[in-house]
Amino acid sequence: MKQSLFESRHQALWQRLREQLEQLERGQATPETCVRFPEDYRRLCQHLALAQERGYSSLLVDPLQQLALRGHQQLYRQRSPLGARVLGFILAGFPQLVRKQWRFVLAASLVFFGSLLGIGLLVYLVPELIYSVISPQQVAEMQRLYEPNASRLGRLANRAAGEDWMMFGYYIMNNIGIAFQTFASGLLFGLGSLFFLFFNGLTIGAVAGHLTQIGYGATFWSFVVGHSAFELSAIALAGAAGLKMGWALIAPGRLPRGEALLLAARTSVQLICGVILFLLIAAFIEAYWSSLTWPAAWIKYLVGGACWLLVLAYLIFAGRRHAPE
């Protein structure tokens, strides 16, 4: 059977199921909706299996998969305690989601880490380039923050050690602001997310290259290595969430752009919840560990390496036993 005939024959059922799901998700379902839903969902699963077996276009298969996923969540949902749901998301749901969205994660990571490493190397080789990225005042401030003789790294000299909790709050607000900016600007057809990924990569890379070139590398790298795994990964993942929304606007398939954006936003918001968790961890490490000067540099590098391995292992392997991907 041709795809066009298959679609025209079953479009009414899919539209009815879509309306049923909207009612169920809003908690406004009628008794009639609840009675018809299981049968309509079973037929949708049959249609999805047929579409995949016959090799129909992804423009048809992808929306059917989204409908089937939403239907499964409504049909088999359990009212588990909030704490159990949050823990399940942290231990399995979030890393599973990152792996499912690997294309957007890869694209965001290439833009962010590519610009960071590229400009860092260029500034190290051509020191004058730093002033093309950040102002002389900002350069001087960075040099004061990471001066080798500083009693606390990454903060002003008059900041007391007892105010670590204030720095923790500052880091949270600053990092979440950057992540939200990178995520929300994806509504500009993804261009905003690409811009902020590239811009943040340039800024961080230029500072790293400059401080290394002038001989402040030991203090700078020992400061950032501890929290960078969580913070930099969070920025890349926020960009991936924004790119997903932007792509839904560029290529909505057979769905209206509004509906395609709504489906993408549901996934993107879940990604941002995981991003916030990463940023909270990064802020805690940055406030209470990274700024310390008494640990030897090799200890900080060891802890930083362990954090990077932990993040990578978590995103790659966590949740694989809980559900198929």
The pLDDT confidence band at residue 315, using thresholds 50, 70 and 90, is very high
pLDDT above 90 for 71: no
pLDDT above 80 for 165: no
Q: What is the mean pLDDT of the segment spanning 255-284?
A: 92
Which letter does DSSP use for residue 161 in this model? G
Q: What is the rounded distance in angstroms from the CA atom of residue 180 to the CA atom of residue 24?
A: 30
Q: What is the mean pLDDT of the segment spanning 23-34?
A: 72
Q: What is the mean pLDDT of the segment spanning 8-30?
A: 82
Model pLDDT, residue 199:
95
Q: Among the residues of the chain, which ranges form H helices?
A: 3-26, 31-53, 58-76, 82-88, 94-100, 102-125, 130-133, 136-145, 164-184, 191-213, 217-224, 228-250, 257-285, 297-317
- The answer to whether 271 and 96 have CB atoms below 8 angstroms apart is no
Q: Indicate the residue type of 48.
A: L
Model pLDDT, residue 148:
79
pLDDT above 80 for 94: yes
What integer best gives the mean pLDDT of the chain?
A: 86
Other C-beta atoms closer than 10 Å to the C-beta of 12 total 9
- The answer to whether 165 and 235 have CB atoms below 8 angstroms apart is no
Model pLDDT, residue 320:
83
Shortest CA distance to 234 belongs to which of 185, 190, 283? 283
Shortest CA distance to 222 belongs to which of 152, 134, 128? 152
Q: What is the mean pLDDT of the segment spanning 182-206?
A: 95
Sign of CA dihedral 266, 267, 269, 274: positive
Q: What is the rounded distance in angstroms from the CA atom of residue 70 to the CA atom of residue 64?
A: 10
Domain extent listing, the chain: 3-77, 86-317
pLDDT above 70 for 176: yes
pLDDT above 70 for 161: no
Model pLDDT, residue 297:
87
Quick one: residue 215, left, alpha or beta (phi over 0 = left, psi -120 to 50 = alpha)? Answer: left
Residue indicated by tokens 């709050």: 169
Model pLDDT, residue 160:
47
Angle between the N-to-C axes of helices 297-317 and 217-224, in degrees from 0 to 180, rounded to the nearest 10: 40
